[in-house]
Structures are given as structure tokens and as C-alpha cells.
Structure 1
């Protein structure tokens, strides 16, 4: 997607920006609908562009790779952990803030926690995690998440190591929930175990990253 300056809450989007967002949304929604219907590998980019009413070069200006047509839905979460740390209350440690946020995500069945059994979410997850080239490109998402969190933690080697461990734990917890739901369990059935696993994961992080609070 073209890089635009982020708007503050006081700024209203201009006409040009609204048109860009509309084009972006149209392309992405069209692509995901076609991929869900026929499979990622069975739908060429040219067909997505045609169905969305744009040229192929225009599509690639918004989405540099075909996989990005799927992965853009993850993009809003790249700096989520960093934002939680930056917005934490006075006196609250980074790990306490991240633990609180993850547990709250479980309660509201946030797809990011893996604890969501809404049919449309499950269909999208089957598409994303069932396409090898998309899974491979997810590495960039994880790397950018680690970099953003490390910056929020203060940068430096210690911050980078801590960020890598935190992002890994969040991913493992989410994957565990997602796999159980994909196997047929409901979110309600998994919730208690998901809470327990999250508590364990963050206790282990706290034991290993005690100096992070400083």
C-alpha cells in the first residue's frame, strides 16, 4: 500500500486519501473473495485486478506481492505489542501490560489470540495458513513486530532479545488456540485452557525477563 502520513484524530481524510483507501479496500476484498472461492494459487493477479476494476500495475502499487493481498489483514497488528507497551498505565510494567492485553483479547475472542471461531475468520485462517507462500512471507510480519516492540522497550540488544521472546510466546499461544479450534472445538470450550496457557507463558517470560521492568 502506498505510504501515507498517519492521520491524527483531528485530521479528516482528504478526497485523494479517501479514494486511495477505497481502491485499496476494493482490491483486497475482491482478492480475498476470489481466493476463498477458488484457492490462492488458482487465481492469477491479473484476474484480481480485472475483477477489482484496476490495472495490474495499479494493483502492485498497493500490494507489492500477491501474498500481500492476504497478509495486509495482519498489517494493522504489526505494532500491536509495541502500542500496548507505549500506552501502558504509569507504574505498569511492559509484561504486565502485554499480559493484560492478551487476556482481554481472549475474552473478546480477538482473532489475533487464535481464540475465534467465527466462520468467516476460520475461512480466512485456512486460506492464510494453508498457503505455503503466504506463511513464508509472514516472517516479515513477525520481524517487524519484534523491531517495533524492541523500540518500545528501549532498543539495544537486551530489548531486541526480550522482544523476540515476547512475540514468540504470543505466537505460540495463538497458534495453540487456533489449532484446537480448527480441529473442531469451540472458542468457549478452549477459553479456560487458553487463559491458563497465557498465564503460564507470561509467568515464564517474567521469570526470564525480570530486568525488563526497569
Structure 2
């Protein structure tokens, strides 16, 4: 089912938006929920309401083109069709992303493939790899369609090899996780560089607002 459950959603939005990313890769867009949320809080929230004003690159990957809704093609900068195991490494090597998001998708891969993909993503993302995922073995394993079957079960210990924060939630008696992995590239950025980047983005936003105010 190409949907993301609501548990931990607010924390996930806050985790990403607080970093003020200039580019996000949503690996497994499904219905396009995260494109809408991130577009709202990374652009519209700052006054960039119209598409020609948007400053954040939000790209998405979906395995089944039939699932991509018209609103998703509007909200995402670019939508790629294919397997995330192939497209995430290829795309993130060509286009720099501050955040790579795996929302209810890693469990649909064999575990070795999931681990390998997370290692690749952690080496490519400039700030964070964010994972939303069912934890434990109490979840149903067969989805409504073949791409939705659960092919692996994950536990908090599976993520402790990365520098990460793990939050657990209860979803009708089953544990659900929000895992935030700090990437090696994020720790290489100096505090001065981060401050200057934030100031520069805020200055750009202020200039854009002033331009809109003085337009006849």
C-alpha cells in the first residue's frame, strides 16, 4: 500500500525542516504525502507560494509509475521511476541532497539490500538519512500488491552501527520507528559554514519578501 502511517509524522517533519535542506530525495513517494509536507514547510511556509518561487529541490522515486498522482508531479521537482536500489545511488551521486528520506520503504527490500542501501545513502547525503519503518515481527507481511510485501523485519539494534537517533512509537500495539542517521558528510561541515549557510538563506528569503512588497 503506497501510504505512510501517521505515527511519528510530526517529529519527522520537524527533524527535516529544522535542518533547512536545499535538496531532499524522497525514496519511495507512494501517494506523494512527503512531497506535500516538505514543500509546504520548506517553501510555502517562507512565503514562496507559487511554483516559480520555490527554492527547495524535492525529488522523488517511485517503483510503479501508475501510482504517481498528478499532484505529486506538481509538488516534486523531479519524479524518477524505478527501483530505489539502483536509482538512489545513481541519482545522489549526480545530484547533491542534504536529506535522503526512506518513508515506509526499507522493509519492502531483502534485509541485506536494505542495509547496503542505507550505507550508500549515509555516504552520499550531506546531512541526514531519515528512515520511517515498522519495527519487530508483528506486522503483516503481505501487502495489497506485490511491491507492498514486507521482505524484511527490522529492530532498533539494526541501526546502532550508524550515528543515529532512534525514536519508537506504538501503532496499535506494534512498535514503529523514526531513525535519524547523521551522515559522515554532515559532521565534516564546520559550525561557521553552517551558520553562514543559514544566514544566507534567511537573507535570500527576506530579499524575496521585499521584492513582493514593492511590486506594483
Structure 2 length as normaliser, TM-score? 0.27
Higher-RCO chain (CA-CA 8 Å, sequence separation at least 6): 1
Structure whose residues are more often strand by fraction:
2
Structure number with bigger Rg: 1
Structure whose residues are more often helix by fraction:
1
